Structure 1
Amino acid sequence: MTISGTGCCLYDYLYRDVSLESPNFRKFLSSLPGDGGLTPGGLVFAESLSRFAGLPAEECIAALTQGRKPDKVNLGGPAVVSMIHAAQVLPKEWNIQFYTCLGDDPESERLMEDLKRFPMALYTDRAPGCSVPSTVVLSDPSWHDGAGERSFVNTPGSALAFSPDMLDEGFFRSDICLWGGSALVPPLHDNLAFLTKKARERGSLNVAGTVYDFRHQAADPVHAWPLGTHENPAYPWIDILITDREEARRLSLQEDVEDAAEFLLAQGCGACIITRGKDDVYVKTRSDLFRSVPGKFFPVSELIVFDLAENPEKRGDTTGCGDNFMGGVLASVARQMDADPAGPVDLEEAVVEGICAGGLALYHVGGVYAEKYPGEKQKKIEEIKSSYTGQSA
């Protein structure tokens, strides 16, 4: 089994306990959609925030964080976090490979060394003169009655230099191709239809996970975001689309998640999964590749909700929950395809694993879980899944 992934790969500079209601945050708060100001749960580019505030981006961050250093610097991004999760929980003999573009600055070198700690093959191009992609994550654990929320300031760096030519035939001839957070890698996003079509033609199953698309939000806050481009959308070539409530709303212009999923499926994707933070996950299928799910909500783990409510000192933050959710779905789909290549994939089973993997991320700061020994993460997920199975019985 070969799984290849590409997309958003960066450093997260994580700041905990930044109140999204504080005067420091609110003076940078967006007043019009796409104006470059901050929004809870949203993402802006550092350059746009600088223009919005009339200050250098570094001064904006210093004001928001009161000049303190980040609580943690961690690998982040929907693509790399999901792929690391898969590499940690899937058989070691499987071929898990990740493709990215980094810069030539010291932080890019550091990120490369961090990537080497995980059991996956790396294919990296370098962009001379570019910095490492990065995101400042402002995390407020008290938001949404303790469910937590974040606001993101992204610096694209070498992601702007990503070229579709960096993806070789070994990538496209995989059993599964994962495309994670392509909106933060503009050259990838704009070619997503061509690339996913190429992978499909070579027999790959395409899994795509979205991220807040500030580029298109700023350019046109009224109309729907494109997945790919408006002229050449990628939907017909995507087998599983994983998105959150806000991203689904902006992709479909539908407020209700059931209507949003129906719209996205009508554009051609085979299955749609919409996460909603602490609320139920919604799943619906269209393709015969999957056992039919005509539209179903899946609750989050009661075990985790209760445990963190009773033991708040165990709480990390919500960063990476969605990315690990996608990694859990990816891992389950891969196991099912390996066990029965001809049979339909049970997305209900995959979503349960995603919920357990995403929930586990609440116990640590940042998206990547540092295992003490191989198999530790999967063991913890199985414990959560055992409780979840009883919860759903």
Structure 2
Amino acid sequence: MVMRISGAGCCLYDYLYKHISFNAQSFRDFLSITPGDGGVTPGELVFAENLSEYKNSSVESCIEQITNGQDPDTVNLGGPALVSLVHSAQMLPSEWEIILYSCLGDDAESKRLQKDMSGFSLHFHSNIAIGLPVPSTIVLSDPEWNEGSGERTFINTLGSAMAFSPDMIDDNFFNSDIFVWGGTALVPPLHDSLGTLTRKARERNGFNIVGTVYDFRNQATDPEGPWPLGTHEESAYPWIDILITDKEEAHRLSMTDSVADAADYFLGQGCGACIITQGNDRIYVKTGSDKFIPINGKKFPVSQWVNEDLRLHPEKRGDTTGCGDNFMGGIIVSIARQISKKTSELIDLEDSIIEGVSAGGFALYQMGGVYTETEQGYKKTRINEIKSHYREQIS
């Protein structure tokens, strides 16, 4: 029996700069002074048009100054929805049909993205917004930041994402078993309708997985208030089965000071379970729904084996871009396997974390979020190797 995953959200090109020092004057000249003012901040995202207004200069000029005029090290497919679903398509058997809905522009880069997507075994349903460019993100990486753990800063151009309205999601989308809503803060019309969309998916007996990104729009609108998921009038929280967020996003969504308090907030709003990542620190997991084997606030480490392998072989290191998106892809893969095999009435989120950590760890060996296989099954073999070491680590 064919089962389905439908996903919608952020879908774009990443322009990746691997060595940008956040201590360099060329970067510090663009630093944010107050939250939401349009300046850059390590680990956070800003919209290109806001950065342009902040410095009273064109986006192109700002990027040229920050990067000292260098070209990006690479250009890769990106965005939480796209990356996580490509990973799912690479890891799941053909019994799973995977569909990604997006909205692209009518420029040359949009056509290129459609062509690039044709190389993966998922269905790419793209609406076209006339006169708008493909969304894109400048990704600035400083591998020495945070005591060598590395960090990134993002400058996002919304482009055709501004035209991705909920009415572009047809009824066929909702004939699915799992629904993935990835990085909808970078697709404002979808983000504002997330409550309605996740409710409709739940009414079809679907399982909702939501992955967040830094919500610059709501941060700029109200720097002191919590970011909404959906709207304050119709929140998505009651319809979310798994919420995946990072520590900073969890803080801004909940306006709490610790990951434990943020988790309690999310579960109190109706989420079934939440997973809060913390970069190279431990992942915090808590469940509230009776769909899951109970986890009452547990911390899971990142992969020591991957960290040690990259320490001994620095030539293998890519960057941290896409680690979180592939981590979400691993969570999706685990949930899909558990639903299809029906090995238990309850979902085992610990299995999902093992799959997610291994997928995120594998992403550290490449630049950018999407890994293009030259040999079928290679990625699965490598991730199984990482999983084996990780199971030993946490046993």
TM-score, structure 1 as length reference: 0.99
Q: After superposition, give the CA deviation of every residue in 1:284-306 in whole Å (9 maximum; x if it has no partner).
A: 00001111111100000010111
The whole-number CA distance in structure 2 between the counterparts of 1:376 and 1:338 is 23
Give the secondary structure class of the aligned counterpart of 2:364: helix
Give the number of equivalent residue pairs.
393
Measure, in 1, the Cα distance between the counterparts of 2:343 and 2:310: 39
- 1:19 is displaced (CA, Å) by 0.5
Matches within 5 A, 1:13-162: 13-162=15-164
- Identity among equivalent pairs (%): 60
Runs of at least 4 residues of structure 1 off by over 4 A?
A: none
Q: Give the match for residue 167 of structure 2.
A: 165
Deviation of 1:309 after TM superposition, in Å, equals: 1.2
**Residues 306-315 or 149-158, more deviating:** 306-315
The corresponding residue for 1:333 is 335
- Whether 1:377 and 2:383 are equivalent positions in the alignment is no
Equivalence for 1:10: 12
1:249 maps to 251
Partner of 1:387: 389
Match of 2:354 in 1: 352
Distance, in Å, in 1 between the alignment partners of 2:343 and 2:319 is 37
- Residue deviations 1:68-106 (CA, integer Å, cap 9, x gap): 111111000000000000000000232111110000000
Distance in 1, Cα, partners of 2:222 & 2:47: 15
Looking at structure 1, the residues matched to 312 and 146 of structure 2 have their Cα atoms a distance apart, in angstroms, of: 17
**1:231-283 CA distances to partner (integer Å, 9 max, x unpaired)?**
21100000000000000000001111011111111011100000000001000
**Shift in Å at residue 144 of structure 1?**
1.3
1:197 alignment partner, SS class = helix
| Equivalent residues of 1:173, 1:203 under 8 A apart | no
Q: Secondary structure at the match of 2:54?
A: helix
Q: Distance in 2 between matches of 1:160 and 1:126?
A: 12
Q: Does 1:291 align with 2:293?
A: yes
Partners of 2:344 and 2:364 lie apart in 1 by: 36
Name the TM-score, length of structure 2 as normaliser. 0.98
- Could you tell me how far apart the structure 1 residues matched to 2:50 and 2:224 are? 18
> How does 1:245-324 map onto structure 2 within 5 Å?
245-324=247-326
CA distance in 1, matches of 2:132, 2:10: 16
Spell out, residue by residue over 1:341-364, the C-alpha distance to the aligned partner (whole angstroms, 9 max, x if none).
871110011011100100110110
1:204 and 2:206 correspond: yes
Q: Structure 2 counterpart of 1:48, which letter?
A: N
Q: Distance in 2 between matches of 1:92 and 1:375?
A: 13
Of 186-195 and 167-176, deviating more is 167-176
- In the TM superposition, what whole-angstrom CA distance separates every residue of 1:18-43 from its partner, at most 9, and x where no partner exists? 00111011000000000000000000
The residue type paired with residue 97 of structure 2 is N
Which whole-Å CA distance do the structure 1 matches of 2:207 and 2:322 have between them?
23
Counterpart contact for 1:328–1:357, Cα < 8 Å: yes
Distance apart, 1:122 and its partner CA = 1.3
In 2, Cα distance between the equivalents of 1:382 and 1:341? 20
Structure 2 gap segments, 5+ residues each: none
Deviation at 1:329, TM superposition (A): 0.4
> What CA distance in whole angstroms lies between the structure 2 residues aligned with 1:68 and 1:105?
24
Q: Is the 8 A contact 1:337 1:343 kept in 2?
A: no
Gaps of at least 5 residues in structure 1 are none
Distance between the aligned counterparts of 2:48 and 2:77, measured in 1? 19
Determine the C-alpha separation between the residues in 1 that align with 2:343 and 2:175. 16
What secondary structure sits across from 1:74 in the alignment?
strand
SS at match of 1:87: helix
How large is the RMSD of aligned CA atoms in angstroms? 0.9
1:137 deviates by 0.4
Equivalent pair of 1:148/1:318 in contact (CA under 8 Å): yes
2:238 partner amino acid: P
Q: C-alpha distance in 1, partners of 2:71/2:91?
A: 32
